[in-house]
Amino acid sequence: MQKVIKDKGISLTIVLSVILAFAGCVGGQLGQNNSNEYRKGMVVSASEDASLVGIDILKKGGNAIDAAVAVQFALAVVYPNAGNIGGGGFLVYRSAEGEVNTLDFREKAGFRASRDMYLDPDGNPVIDKSLFGHLAVGVPGSVAGMVAAHQKYGKLKWGDLLEPAIVLAKSGFKITARQARELNGLKERFITYNPNGTALVKDREWLEGDILVQSELANTLELIRDKGMAGFYSGPVADSLLAEMKRGKGILSADDLKSYKAIWRKPIIGDYKGFKVITMPPPSSGGIALIQLLKCVEPYPLKQWGLNSDSTVQLMVEAERRVYADRATHLGDPDFYDVPQEQLLSNAYIEERMAGFNWAHATPSANIKAGTFKVAEHEETTHFSIVDKAGNAVSVTTTLNGSYGSAVIVKGAGFLLNNEMDDFSVKPGSPNMYGLVGGEANAIMPAKRMLSSMTPTIIEKNGELFMVVGTPGGSTIITSVFQTVINVIEFDKNMQAAVDAKKFHHQWLPDTIYMEKGALDSLTVVKLKSKGYPVLERGAIGRVDAILKTRWGYYQGGADRRGDDKSIGW
Ligand code: DON
């Protein structure tokens, strides 16, 4: 690996051109556009460098979990806006034999967190406090998550999985044009929260192709390589994190770090027309919401209506409205709040929820105050999907929450801290950065995990692996995964086409259908508006990275062109 990365300039180009040529040829043979298909395994992630790291681990005999660990650490280096060691996430696993499991490495509130910590004396939310700077930070879970995943299922040596990320941090990597734009755009924020300097700020503008070297991060990764949990949650890295907290008046303590544990949880499993959907339970809302959405639309002939037709959109929107209303009220950290999971997923409940749906008119969203909300278009989380030679599959969504999280980079340790505290319901009924509202179930409590929308998912067909899927996108995660699954199962899209298809989104509040430019044709928009559906255009929705197993046993990649994402197979 080290060699591949060190000689990256040359080997990446050669490897990639061979891969791309081969992909084009295979796709052509099977009569499928722009899809790449491979037999032995595949990695799809937000970064070409990270996908190469993952495929290299697979080729060395690592399994999907080994590759996931290596990709997670590589993304912390080459995709710092969302890849992370200072954030958290969720992992869904399915072994080749059909064993399923999920891992919760979500951040949690510090012991000193309190319900009203982001409210001013008049009880109003102070938005920036939960979004930027030290107070926005939840206890990071990613390192604990990777250690737990590796201990349970990993095959290669832990240290070997960290090595590629260390090399990328030490020697640097070439930033993309998109990354240069983002880093330049955030320069002032980085300076505000990191007055002592950081590798992410340059004395001139960043340019595409500039090499980003992160020496402090490399040292931190070496400590994690050598000491595992103790390399991050105690010792010099923890000391730097606590010093950073002190400097910026954050509240995380040594106890918070020492007590952090990743948790294996029973997957949410649902059925859609014979496909078995294996997905993430709370504290993510994603799994329950995805199964609810699928069940809501299952009785209807979507295939006959067609992709993004007015009937399809109306039905999906009405399902989304109801499911997001449930999310706001009923979902939170199951260790703190009794989530009525069975009721939410029961067929009788879903039938009752859809019973009020009327084809003639939009159902107005319930009358909870929506607050002033603008859809954020620079949402940043990242998802990767991996399948190995044996057929084990891993679906991981991981995040700092906003792009580059809290913008705080731990001085001396070189990694970004999350702003995940904003995913709590800071005040009942007040929208968070994604416009999501919540109540008691997701109120802040010490050591509680904040509710998530992340929806890493694996789907089986006839007892065999069928799809590995997930995406970033804040509140749009659930609807993006929903549409991608429907695009394949109902509309017979191949994986890349399902990812490329334009999306729309409704989340109950605000009571609006958001659509990507061109997602719905003008006649469809007119029809929907006449029935009382406000429709607004917005930027990209989701950034799905997914794998489909074709009926011939090939893995087909879907890497989202809304970003610099890359699927690589072998
Ligand atoms: O856990 C959540 O639902 C959010 N923190 C995810 C944020 C996100 O997807 C931002 N990305 N694009």
Judged by DSSP in three states, 546 sits in strand
Q: What is the pLDDT of residues 366-379, one digit of tens each?
A: 532 222 223 344 45
Q: Which residue, by CA, sits nearest to atom 11 of ligand 1?
A: 380
The reported pLDDT for the residue numbered 531 is 97
CA dihedral over 445, 149, 252, 418, signed as positive or negative: negative
Q: What is the DSSP-derived secondary structure letter of residue 416? A: B
Q: What is the mean pLDDT of the chain?
A: 91
Q: Which residue, by CA, sits nearest to atom 1 of ligand 1?
A: 452
Give all strands of the β-sheet with 535-538 in edge-to-edge order. Answer: 504-505, 513-516, 535-538
Q: Is 380 in the pocket of ligand 1 (CB under 6 A)?
A: yes
Residue 34 reports pLDDT greater than 50:
no
What burial letters (b/e) apply to 323-340, b meaning 16+ CB within 10 Å?
A: bbbbbbbbbbbbebbebb
Q: Is 473 in the pocket of ligand 1 (CB under 6 A)?
A: yes
**Residue of 420, 477, 479, 543 to test ligand 1 pocket, by largest number of atoms within 8 Å of CB:** 477
Query: For the chain, which domains are there?
Result: 44-264+380-442 (no CATH), 265-377+454-569 (3.60.20.40)
Q: What is the pLDDT of residues 406-464, one digit of tens each?
A: 999 999 999 999 999 999 999 988 888 898 888 889 999 999 999 999 999 999 999 99
The whole model's pTM is what? Answer: 0.92
Closest by alpha carbon to 436, among 380, 513, 378, 507? 507
The reported pLDDT for the residue numbered 46 is 98
Q: How remote is the CA of residue 401 from the centroid of ligand 1, in Å?
A: 5
Q: Is 399 in the pocket of ligand 1 (CB under 6 A)?
A: yes
Q: Which atom of ligand 1 is nearest to the CA of 285?
A: 3
Q: Which atom of ligand 1 is nearest to the CA of 471?
A: 9
- Name the active-site residue from 102, 220, 381, 455: 381
Q: How far apart are CA 485 and CA 290, in angstroms?
A: 10
Cα distances from 346 to residues 269, 291, 350, in angstroms, run: 12, 10, 6
Section 535-554 average pLDDT = 97
Section 344-368 average pLDDT = 85
The residues that bridge with 212 in the sheet, in sequence order, are 173
Share of the chain above pLDDT 70, in %: 91
Closest by alpha carbon to 383, among 566, 180, 219? 566
Q: How remote is the CA of residue 330 from the centroid of ligand 1, in Å?
A: 19
Looking at per-residue pLDDT, the higher value among 353 and 366 belongs to: 353
Cα distances from 260 to residues 266, 268, 422, in angstroms, run: 19, 24, 19
Q: Do residues 72 and 86 lie in contact, with contact meaning Cβ atoms separated by under 8 Å? A: no
Residue 381 tokens read as 């989380």
The reported pLDDT for the residue numbered 380 is 77
Q: Is 472 in the pocket of ligand 1 (CB under 6 A)?
A: yes
Q: How many residues comprise the chain?
A: 570
Residue 522 reports pLDDT greater than 60:
yes
Residue 224 reports pLDDT greater than 80:
yes
Q: How remote is the CA of residue 28 from the centroid of ligand 1, in Å?
A: 36
Residue 199 reports pLDDT greater than 80:
yes
Q: How remote is the CA of residue 453 from the centroid of ligand 1, in Å?
A: 7
Q: Is 476 in the pocket of ligand 1 (CB under 6 A)?
A: no
Q: How remote is the CA of residue 555 from the centroid of ligand 1, in Å?
A: 27
Q: How far apart are CA 171 and CA 168, in angstroms?
A: 5
Residue 101 reports pLDDT greater than 90:
yes
Examine the residue annotation and report whether 363 is marked as an active-site residue of this protein: no
Q: Which residue, by CA, sits nearest to atom 8 of ligand 1?
A: 474
